[in-house]
Amino acid sequence: MRVFILIIPLSIFLFSCSTFKETEKQVIVTGYDFTKYTEKGFLFTPEGYLEDYESVGMLSVEILPELKRSGYASPGQFYAPGNLWRYTPVSGSEVLDSLYIKAKRMGADAIINLVIRRTILQANNVSAPGIEASGFAIKRKDAIK
Protein backbone atom coordinates (compact mmCIF):
# COMPACT_ATOMS: atom_id res chain seq x y z
CA MET A 1 0.00 0.00 0.00
CA ARG A 2 2.85 2.39 0.81
CA VAL A 3 4.38 1.84 -2.64
CA PHE A 4 1.06 2.71 -4.27
CA ILE A 5 0.76 5.89 -2.19
CA LEU A 6 4.28 6.90 -3.23
CA ILE A 7 3.74 6.17 -6.94
CA ILE A 8 0.66 8.41 -7.31
CA PRO A 9 2.28 11.67 -6.07
CA LEU A 10 5.47 10.85 -7.98
CA SER A 11 3.49 10.27 -11.19
CA ILE A 12 1.56 13.53 -10.75
CA PHE A 13 4.80 15.40 -10.16
CA LEU A 14 6.55 13.93 -13.22
CA PHE A 15 3.65 14.54 -15.61
CA SER A 16 2.88 18.02 -14.30
CA CYS A 17 6.51 19.09 -14.89
CA SER A 18 6.61 17.90 -18.48
CA THR A 19 6.06 20.52 -21.15
CA PHE A 20 3.98 19.97 -24.24
CA LYS A 21 4.71 22.13 -27.24
CA GLU A 22 1.86 23.05 -29.53
CA THR A 23 2.58 22.78 -33.24
CA GLU A 24 1.05 24.26 -36.33
CA LYS A 25 -0.11 22.23 -39.30
CA GLN A 26 2.83 21.24 -41.47
CA VAL A 27 2.94 20.22 -45.11
CA ILE A 28 6.13 18.44 -46.09
CA VAL A 29 6.75 17.78 -49.77
CA THR A 30 9.67 15.64 -50.88
CA GLY A 31 10.61 15.28 -54.52
CA TYR A 32 13.58 14.28 -56.61
CA ASP A 33 14.39 15.97 -59.93
CA PHE A 34 16.02 13.62 -62.46
CA THR A 35 16.34 16.25 -65.24
CA LYS A 36 20.12 16.71 -65.00
CA TYR A 37 20.64 12.95 -65.36
CA THR A 38 18.12 12.60 -68.21
CA GLU A 39 19.96 15.36 -70.10
CA LYS A 40 23.11 13.18 -69.87
CA GLY A 41 21.25 10.15 -71.27
CA PHE A 42 20.93 8.45 -67.87
CA LEU A 43 17.66 6.93 -66.65
CA PHE A 44 16.47 6.76 -63.05
CA THR A 45 13.12 5.00 -62.65
CA PRO A 46 11.23 3.27 -59.86
CA GLU A 47 9.80 1.00 -62.57
CA GLY A 48 11.37 -1.88 -64.46
CA TYR A 49 12.75 -1.59 -68.01
CA LEU A 50 10.95 -3.52 -70.76
CA GLU A 51 13.48 -3.16 -73.61
CA ASP A 52 16.71 -5.14 -74.04
CA TYR A 53 19.48 -4.44 -71.53
CA GLU A 54 22.60 -5.89 -69.98
CA SER A 55 22.68 -6.42 -66.23
CA VAL A 56 25.43 -4.44 -64.53
CA GLY A 57 24.76 -4.86 -60.81
CA MET A 58 22.89 -3.91 -57.67
CA LEU A 59 23.76 -0.57 -56.08
CA SER A 60 22.96 1.04 -52.79
CA VAL A 61 24.14 4.37 -51.40
CA GLU A 62 23.41 5.55 -47.87
CA ILE A 63 24.57 8.92 -46.64
CA LEU A 64 24.31 9.75 -42.96
CA PRO A 65 24.94 13.23 -41.54
CA GLU A 66 28.08 14.23 -39.72
CA LEU A 67 27.51 14.88 -36.02
CA LYS A 68 29.47 17.60 -34.24
CA ARG A 69 29.33 18.53 -30.60
CA SER A 70 28.40 22.17 -30.24
CA GLY A 71 26.49 24.58 -28.08
CA TYR A 72 24.97 26.32 -31.11
CA ALA A 73 23.75 25.51 -34.60
CA SER A 74 25.05 27.37 -37.64
CA PRO A 75 22.68 28.33 -40.49
CA GLY A 76 21.61 25.18 -42.34
CA GLN A 77 22.36 22.99 -39.34
CA PHE A 78 20.01 21.57 -36.74
CA TYR A 79 20.23 20.53 -33.15
CA ALA A 80 19.60 16.91 -32.38
CA PRO A 81 16.75 17.06 -29.84
CA GLY A 82 17.83 17.24 -26.21
CA ASN A 83 21.53 17.26 -26.97
CA LEU A 84 24.38 19.60 -27.71
CA TRP A 85 24.99 17.88 -31.04
CA ARG A 86 24.40 19.52 -34.41
CA TYR A 87 24.15 18.05 -37.89
CA THR A 88 23.75 19.24 -41.45
CA PRO A 89 20.89 17.51 -43.27
CA VAL A 90 21.71 15.15 -46.15
CA SER A 91 20.24 16.20 -49.51
CA GLY A 92 18.52 13.87 -51.96
CA SER A 93 20.65 15.19 -54.81
CA GLU A 94 23.82 14.23 -52.91
CA VAL A 95 22.59 10.63 -52.68
CA LEU A 96 21.48 10.51 -56.33
CA ASP A 97 24.79 12.03 -57.50
CA SER A 98 26.67 9.30 -55.61
CA LEU A 99 24.47 6.58 -57.10
CA TYR A 100 24.86 8.06 -60.61
CA ILE A 101 28.68 8.30 -60.36
CA LYS A 102 29.01 4.70 -59.12
CA ALA A 103 26.65 3.40 -61.84
CA LYS A 104 28.54 5.25 -64.61
CA ARG A 105 31.88 3.85 -63.36
CA MET A 106 30.38 0.37 -63.63
CA GLY A 107 29.30 1.06 -67.23
CA ALA A 108 25.58 1.49 -66.53
CA ASP A 109 23.34 4.09 -68.13
CA ALA A 110 20.26 3.46 -66.00
CA ILE A 111 19.09 2.56 -62.51
CA ILE A 112 15.78 0.72 -62.51
CA ASN A 113 13.62 -0.32 -59.55
CA LEU A 114 14.91 2.77 -57.74
CA VAL A 115 13.94 3.02 -54.08
CA ILE A 116 14.70 6.09 -51.97
CA ARG A 117 14.10 6.02 -48.24
CA ARG A 118 14.99 7.93 -45.12
CA THR A 119 17.36 6.32 -42.66
CA ILE A 120 18.37 7.28 -39.14
CA LEU A 121 21.85 7.67 -37.69
CA GLN A 122 21.85 6.49 -34.06
CA ALA A 123 24.99 7.62 -32.24
CA ASN A 124 25.80 9.25 -28.90
CA ASN A 125 22.13 9.03 -27.85
CA VAL A 126 21.27 11.15 -30.90
CA SER A 127 19.01 10.40 -33.85
CA ALA A 128 19.74 12.28 -37.08
CA PRO A 129 18.12 11.69 -40.49
CA GLY A 130 19.97 10.30 -43.50
CA ILE A 131 18.92 9.06 -46.95
CA GLU A 132 19.45 5.76 -48.76
CA ALA A 133 18.89 5.06 -52.47
CA SER A 134 19.17 1.67 -54.13
CA GLY A 135 18.37 0.04 -57.45
CA PHE A 136 19.43 -2.25 -60.26
CA ALA A 137 22.09 -0.83 -62.60
CA ILE A 138 21.71 -1.73 -66.29
CA LYS A 139 23.14 -0.81 -69.69
CA ARG A 140 20.30 -0.20 -72.14
CA LYS A 141 20.90 -1.64 -75.62
CA ASP A 142 18.61 0.87 -77.34
CA ALA A 143 19.50 3.97 -75.29
CA ILE A 144 19.56 7.32 -77.04
CA LYS A 145 22.96 8.86 -76.46
Domains in the chain with CATH codes: 32-140 (3.30.110.70)
Report the 10 Å Cβ neighbour count for 108.
26
Q: What is the distance between the alpha carbons of residues 113 and 56, in angstroms, rounded to a whole number?
A: 13
If DSSP codes are grouped into helix, strand and coil, which group holds residue 48?
coil
Provide the whole-model pTM: 0.70
Ramachandran sector of residue 124 (left: φ over 0; alpha: ψ -120 to 50; beta: rest): left
> Is a pLDDT exceeding 70 seen at residue 109?
yes
Percent of the chain residues past pLDDT 90, beyond the cut? 46
Predicted pLDDT of residue 67: 77
At 6-50, the pLDDT tens digits run: 555 555 555 555 566 788 888 877 788 999 999 999 999 999 999
Predicted pLDDT of residue 4: 47
Predicted pLDDT of residue 1: 47
Predicted pLDDT of residue 57: 97
Predicted pLDDT of residue 78: 59
Higher-pLDDT residue of 71, 4? 71
Report the 10 Å Cβ neighbour count for 18.
6
Higher-pLDDT residue of 83, 141? 141
Q: Which of 1-10, 84-93, 102-111, 136-145 has the lowest mean pLDDT?
A: 1-10
Predicted pLDDT of residue 144: 58
